[in-house]
């Protein structure tokens, strides 16, 4: 067969199986496309909930498998993603408005509370002053 060292095989993208258990695969391409393809083929779809959910969502709007629908698939996915993002932005805008109104409410009440505290501190200081005057005069 090929009389080259393992390093030369790796350099040209070949991986020669050497054990007897691997006799079924004598030469396997080790290029990135082959690895990706094998990885995809090894996926167990029935156990992967994320992939099942994605396929179920895809089946809701991808009707017949035609050339036109396959070409439009990416655009349709992008339109749906944009719609979801816009819905999220609208919902977040409502949260932002409520948060701002709560902040204004809290700030207004905090201002009133600061005035009350200022008056209370002044009253307390006045009481201390009067108490000390009464003690001095007695």
Are 71 and 12 within one domain? no
Question: Does the structure show a pLDDT above 70 at 6?
Answer: no
Are 71 and 122 within one domain? yes
Range of the domain at 107: 45-137
Mean pLDDT along residues 88-116: 86
Pairing of strands 14-16, 27-29: antiparallel
Are 8 and 54 within one domain? no
Contact in structure between 45 and 52 (CB atoms under 8 Å): yes
Mean pLDDT along residues 32-40: 84
Are 88 and 108 within one domain? yes
Contact in structure between 79 and 62 (CB atoms under 8 Å): no
Number of domains in the chain: 2
Are 38 and 72 within one domain? no
**pTM of the entire structure?**
0.42
Whole-number Å distance between alpha carbons of 67 and 73: 10
Contact in structure between 17 and 28 (CB atoms under 8 Å): yes
Question: Does the structure show a pLDDT above 70 at 39?
Answer: yes
Mean pLDDT along residues 97-105: 85
Q: Which residue has the higher pLDDT, 82 or 100?
A: 82
Are 50 and 23 within one domain? no
| pLDDT value for 83 | 92
Give, in order, the Cα–Cα distances in Å from 90 to each of 59, 79, 84, 101, 104. 27, 16, 10, 17, 21
Q: Which of 34, 32, 56 is nearest to 45 (CA)?
A: 56
Number of helices (H), then strands (E), in the chain: 4, 2
Are 5 and 54 within one domain? no
Q: Which residue has the higher pLDDT, 13 or 77?
A: 77
Question: Does the structure show a pLDDT above 60 at 11?
Answer: no
Mean pLDDT along residues 91-101: 87
| pLDDT value for 85 | 93
């Amino acid at each position: 067969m090929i009389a080259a060292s393992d390093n030369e095989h790796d350099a040209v993208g070949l991986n020669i199986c050497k054990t007897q258990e691997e006799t079924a695969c004598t030469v396997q391409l080790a290029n990135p496309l082959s690895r990706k393809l094998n990885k995809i083929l090894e996926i167990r779809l029935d156990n992967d909930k994320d992939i099942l959910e994605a396929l179920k969502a895809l089946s809701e709007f991808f009707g017949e498998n035609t050339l036109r629908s396959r070409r439009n698939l990416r655009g349709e996915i992008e339109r749906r993603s944009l719609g979801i993002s816009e819905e999220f932005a609208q919902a977040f805008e409502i949260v932002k408005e409520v948060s701002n109104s709560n902040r204004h409410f809290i700030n207004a009440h905090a201002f009133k509370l600061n005035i009350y505290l200022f008056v209370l501190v002044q009253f307390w200081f006045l009481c201390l002053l009067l108490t000390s005057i009464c003690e001095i005069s007695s």
